[in-house]
Chain A
């Protein structure tokens, strides 16, 4: 029987699942698009992973992360529910123990994490703008009618630099259209976009931060070689893209789950076949006070398993009570 841990990272753009064995080797990884349906994505991801795994694999623990971490935890029963900043930091430390800087660019947000002597020292996340993130690139790729997977390799072919404004997605887009109409090469424009995104990232998140090597680049966008090269050019440093760069959050969740299970000696994980359960959500507006919270009720196979969304705890605390009674 092979003993393994499961990490699930439910992000806005992708849902990632990682299976890690007890010696911390990665057994399998999965990257699927969330497409605005996190519940379905988690179900599909788990089913897919189950069908790929050997029959004799036993899951000892589960960690969840990403913006949908609470949801995934309620669905599957997690041992650890961790924010993505800590999860990414833990995973990067595993790959490069002396890492000092982590550049993480995902679909909806981007982060910079600074580490010193193996602990997270400082971090920043983009605030109100998505200009420096994957969805911006996605949209531009669509506009140019190029599959996003080829975006990076095309950028590498560029010979003449074309400067594109990077401050804001709207500016960048109109600047790009203008450069297209001037007749610039497609690869030069794509390269310009990559550099614009990197400049934007460094101006927003890197401002005032001491970016020291070794630098790791991870998250969905790290698959884009054009961006990697732009970072290397501007920072004048080597950028390391780890083997499993696109699923680092899930790896961090695995490591944390292993740690937690070793402490508690048991797991909350409901088993791989939980993916076959029927999940449904109902919501209502609580009218008990002027806050008018939107309360979400979560059902697993018609059984109410959790409520959330209220400020005062009158609904979410009920769940805890009923659980205690059952026990």
Chain B
């Protein structure tokens, strides 16, 4: 058996290690690329959202490389993603692929985690539940480590003295991850690179803008779909913070487990004056995190969503009010198949210009009121 899973930013690093720990053959899909997009759009319903299309492309590319078992997450409460696996299974069957699909429901209770472990048993043929549990915990740990590493990358990139140094390290890091197996080796690589990252020469006194990213999780964490937005902002000298990440997503679900922490409560509290119920997807987080960013004195917020994403459209109409009341500029970017970057670059550059001027004027006002 050869297992594969769809890409979602750096999630593959943890998933690959977990399956390797279970003793299963893993075939991670090639990094999302133009062909992934082409395959995905060819075989998906036209009005479907981008994440669905790219996932279909991921599967097909992995199957071509020899995968026969597909791992996917689902469930009926989040958004369309709950339905992805059913539809994708049909699409792939119609294409004539002989595959097995393993779908995981959201971890809402201990029972769901048990179900997940049962499914892992199906995959690995092992019987020891305790071993499964340790592997599960290791997976969570890796996920958190990778995201911490990524956060550090986003902090250092705008401050690096030699432009491109951080990205060179990151490309090398991705190459190294490809060549290691299992939890221990993967964790070592992450730790080593974190140390190397800290040694990159930075300008500590640089006046950097801070932008928070909110929105639909896939568009936030997958650089292919957001046209490398975070890297582009970093190169413009902006420190970027992502509010939704794979690790936060999992932590929010399982924070009833004693050693797991998430910012769910805080986010829900912040969102409550505007939206105090789930409307699917990450809409509630989008609102809550925008409020939190304004409280933490971020210069601005960028709201990302794939075209036709219902939860984020709801969030978007509420954000108008948040923008006004909390006095924080918000730029909305809708992402779809278009890979022409000019239009996006114009918007991003103009937004960064706007934030710079805004910060200067706030600074000047303060100076005036003091004198």
Contact = CB atoms under 8 A, between A and B. Distances in A.
A122 B320 CA distance: 12
B350 A86 contact: yes
Interface string A80-99: 00111110000000000000
Contact of B354 (A120, A208, A317): A120
A208 B320 contact: yes
Nearest to A314: B171
Contact of A312 (B171, B320, B354, B361): B171
A292 interface: yes
A85 B346 contact: yes
Contact of B347 (A125, A289, A291): A125
A179 to B, nearest CB: 30
A119 B347 contact: no
Given A67-B342, A311-B228, A85 B35 contact: no
A121 interface: yes
A289 B31 contact: yes
Contacts of A82: 349, 353
A125 to B, nearest CB: 6
Interface in A101-139: 109, 117, 119-123, 125, 127-128
B354 A121 contact: yes
A83 B351 CA distance: 10
Contacts of B353: 82-83, 85-86, 120
B334 interface: yes
B224 to A, nearest CB: 8
Interface string B177-196: 00000000000000000000
Nearest to B330: A122
Contact of A85 (B33, B320, B350): B350
Given A83-B353, A121-B354, A109 B34 contact: no
Contacts, number: 65
Contacts of A67: 342-343, 346
A317 B346 contact: no
When A and B form their complex, which 4 residue pairs have the shortest distance between CB atoms, in order from nearest?
A85-B350, A83-B349, A290-B33, A290-B30
A119 B171 contact: no
Contacts of A289: 31
B33 A292 contact: yes
A83 B334 CA distance: 19
A36 interface: no
B113 interface: no
A120 B357 contact: yes
Contacts of B34: 291-292
A292 B38 CA distance: 13
Given A83-B349, A119-B361, A127-B334, 10 more contacts: A82-B349, A82-B353, A119-B358, A120-B357, A121-B354, A290-B30, A290-B35, A291-B31, A312-B167, A313-B167
Interface of B: 30-35, 164, 167, 171, 228, 307, 320, 329, 334, 336, 338, 342-343, 345-347, 349-351, 353-354, 357-358, 361
Contacts of A119: 354, 357-358, 361
Nearest to A316: B164
Contact of B345 (A83, A208, A311): A83
B12 to A, nearest CB: 13
Contacts of B336: 128
B33 A122 contact: no
Contacts of A128: 307, 334, 336, 338
B343 A291 contact: no
Nearest to A124: B332
Contacts of A120: 350, 353-354, 357
A261 to B, nearest CB: 19
Contacts of B347: 85, 125
18 contacts: A83-B345, A83-B353, A85-B346, A85-B349, A109-B343, A117-B361, A119-B357, A120-B354, A120-B357, A121-B354, A121-B358, A122-B329, A123-B350, A123-B354, A125-B343, A290-B32, A292-B33, A317-B164
A82 B307 CA distance: 28
B313 to A, nearest CB: 13
Contacts of A86: 349-350, 353-354
Nearest to B334: A127
